[in-house]
Structure 1
Amino acid sequence: MKKYISAILMMATIAFYAQEINDNSTTKWSAGRPDGHAPISITGDHMHGKGQWMFSYRYMYMNMDELKQGSNDAPFDDALEDYMITPTSMPMNMHMLGSMFAPSDKITLMLMFNYLSMEMDHITRMGGTFTTESSGFGDIQLAALFKFFNKNQQTLHGQVGFSIPTGSVTESDVTPASTPDETELPYPMQVGSGTFDPNLALTYLGQKESISWGSQLKGVFRFGENDRDYRYGNRYSLNNWFAVKAANWISLSARLEGLIVSEIEGADPNLNPMMVITADTNNSGGTYVNSGIGINTYISKGALKNLRFGFEFGYPLYQDLNGIQLKTKETLTFGTQYSF
């Protein structure tokens, strides 16, 4: 927590100093260009002018496949030495609907809903295979963004928000051991957190005539326990991106993220941690370095003015996982945004 606060203060100091360098300039950072928004995978990256609305839709596909133990690849046989079952792959689909409204030039409010669907393929110690599925609406996200400054083509804003635990933590499906009845699925297959989770973020943006850059420091903090006597681990991320405006309607971006996820605390009494690796909380959390390459498009005039489309391909550069877990592979994010 101290490191997180120190990083926020350092980022704010650097950004504040940067905007003071050319204090005679009144040129403001502008969202009215294709790179005026961050890569589509990042939320809470920009603010709006007084009275402006924005609605957005994002689709994200994430593929998890094969195992890692720490930072090393691990064969399924390693997991099956200690557990009866191991997952072999897990594709996840997420649909996100969002809205933003600015009651003033200094404040923008944000609301997000999401719907998740997941599958997990497994192999047993005896060589059998089976698949479980879960789907449903996740937790609702609410946030307020506060602008600190916008001058010299640079801007800095903070975010304070929280999630409402509307997503289920009791998703169930039939497994070979439970047939014909359903049994509660392990932690990664649940669609909600079950806890009210506050979050804090600080976002700095800068731009020149044909390039732009940004950095977002964000933390999600878990408190208390849900109805199943556990809570997910805190998440700390630092995203940095750089974009080139190739034309008035399109930009190309590159992103680098550092991510730390803490272990799950507590344990669901309905799960047997010796049965499958995903039911053991020791196999949760880790440290990641992720990359992304994206495209943003922007319509600046006509009937569809202020309509945006974005795409990003993400891939992990480094993963150091607690225990033994499925490793993350590619992530695809598509989205559209419309403001008025």
Structure 2
Amino acid sequence: MKKFLIPFLGSVLLCSNMMVAQEKWSSNRADGHAPISIMGDHTHNKGEFMLSYRYMPMWMDGLINGSDEIENGEAFDRYMAVPQDMRMDMHMIGAMYAVSNKVTLAAMINYIDNDMDLRSKMSMDFTTESSGFGDIAINALVNFYDKNRQKMHANIGVSIPTGDLEQSGDTPMMQNARLAYPMQLGSGTLDPAIGVTYLGQTDKLSWGLQPKFKFRLGENSQDYALGNRFDAVAWTAYSLFQSWSISGSLSYFDQQEIDGVDAAMNPMMMPLFDTMNSGRSQLDLGIGSNFYVPTGTFKNLRVGVEVKLPLYQDVNGIQMKNQLAGTIGIQYSLSTNE
């Protein structure tokens, strides 16, 4: 009896292990990572190391008051100059390393280029520019669930205030004037962040949900603090092939208004000097695609692209209207088993 029972039990155990393996969530496919604009979406196995680069442009054009578009004249009733359009280009370099199967550490540093076109009350057009390194983000991703092709991990991190807060430029009204709050390069405060990421997967479909909250500790060197921020994003992706997927996402954020005042900014000069015109909520639609190399010389290389269009935005006071944002990125894992 034993000579039949032992092989039978061994076969059952082997089949069970194979079934469990088949039910494990996998990153070895194009949709194994979230759309490229989403940070902290995945973890790694012990000893794995990943480098990434993202280029993230954003365009703003025109003015809104609350959720309604307004003309320059309405802003000129209160301010001496009015922003017309703005472009921000962010270059982000990231690194991830798994110290264990439970904990993955991540760090990100970015370089920012800002250009803003403005018009004075006397119909004089001018441009202000700022550029430099922004704040550094350090995060720990802690796995706490992995079963039935579903995973969950905690996102715990902090933003270190390395971005400059004294960016200045020449304007028709003043030489070497302090630039507006959105033109500065960092928050100037230590900003803890906490969130959670949920992932699910079938043979062809994947999905995820990630809510995160960032809050500010104290005031910065210029006597103000950016508002606390809540972000939530939900996405789904369809795997056309192991190497190619398409995705859609809905992302929402709520940024509270600035607390305090930079004394170098005259709030009567322009809307973006006035902290009453800070804080906004926004809902975006994202459309993206991921490309993944599963074998060969460039195994574990990923290329992603995503475009985001605002569906709804509501601001405090008078602010610029967000028009479009994009992300193009490359991720490369320096391991043979991602």
TM-score, length of structure 2 as denominator length: 0.92
1:62 has 2:45 as partner:
no
CA–CA separation in structure 2 for the residues paired with 1:335 and 1:142: 19
Partner of 2:140: 144
1:172, 1:92 → 2: CA distance? 16
User: What is the total number of aligned residue pairs between the two structures?
Assistant: 315
Q: Which runs of 4+ in 1 moved over 3 A?
A: none
Report the AA paired with residue 37 of structure 2. Answer: S
Partner of 1:225 in structure 2? 219
Per the TM alignment, residue 201 of structure 1 is displaced from its structure 2 partner at its CA by 1.3
Q: In the TM superposition, what whole-angstrom CA distance separates every residue of 1:178-210 from its partner, at most 9, and x where no partner exists? A: 1xx311111000011110000011000000000
Q: CA deviation at 1:288?
A: 0.7
CA RMSD, aligned part only?
0.9
Instruction: Tell me, in whole angstroms, the C-alpha distance in 2 between the residues paired with 1:96 and 1:36.
Output: 21
Report the alpha carbon displacement of residue 25 of structure 1 after superposing the two structures with TM. 4.9
Q: Which amino acid aligns with 1:187?
A: Y
- The superposition leaves residues 144-202 of structure 1 with CA deviations (integer Å, 9 ceiling, x where unpaired) of 01001111000000011001111000001111111xx3111110000111100000110
Aligned letter for 2:331? Q
SS of 1:223 mapped into structure 2:
coil
Q: Percent identity?
A: 49
1:280 matched to 2:264: no
Selected match of 1:300 from 294, 300, 303: 294
Q: What TM-score, normalized to structure 1? A: 0.92
Task: Give the structure 2 partner of residue 153 of structure 1.
Answer: 149
Aligned twin of 1:326? 320
Residue 317 of structure 1 pairs with residue 311 of structure 2:
yes
Does the alignment pair 1:168 with 2:171?
no
Q: SS of the residue aligned with 1:35?
A: helix
Q: Quote the residue 1:241 is aligned against.
A: 235
**Cα separation, 2, equivalents of 1:223 and 1:322:** 22
SS at match of 1:282: helix
Mapped to 2, the partners of 1:40 and 1:76 lie a distance apart of 36
1:209 and 2:194 matched: no
- The unaligned stretches of length 5 or more in structure 1 are 1-23
Q: Secondary structure at the match of 1:83?
A: coil
Q: Hey, what does 2:75 align to over in structure 1?
A: 79
Deviation track 1:237-279 (CA, whole Å, cap 9, x = no partner) reads 1100010001111000000012111000000011100101000
**Residue identity in the other structure for 1:197:** D
How far does the alpha carbon of each residue in 1:63-93 deviate from its partner, in whole angstroms, 9 at most, with x for none?
A: 0000110011111111111101110000000
**Aligned-partner Cα distance in 2 for 1:248–1:149:** 25
Amino acid of the structure 2 residue aligned with 1:158: A
Are 2:273 and 1:252 aligned?
no
1:264-299 superposed Cα distances (whole Å, 9 cap, x missing partner):
000001110010100000111111111100000000
2:107 to 87, 104, 111: 111
Q: Which residue of 2 aligns with 1:268?
A: 262
Q: Aligned partners of 1:65 and 1:202: how far apart in 2?
A: 33
- 2:43 corresponds to which of 19, 44, 47: 47
Post-superposition CA distance 1:94-128 (Å, at most 9, x none): 00000000010000000000000001100111111
* Residue type of the alignment partner of 2:61: D
Spell out, residue by residue over 1:47-67, the C-alpha distance to the aligned partner (whole angstroms, 9 max, x if none). 000000000000000000001
Structure 2: how far apart are the matches of 1:175 and 1:126? 13
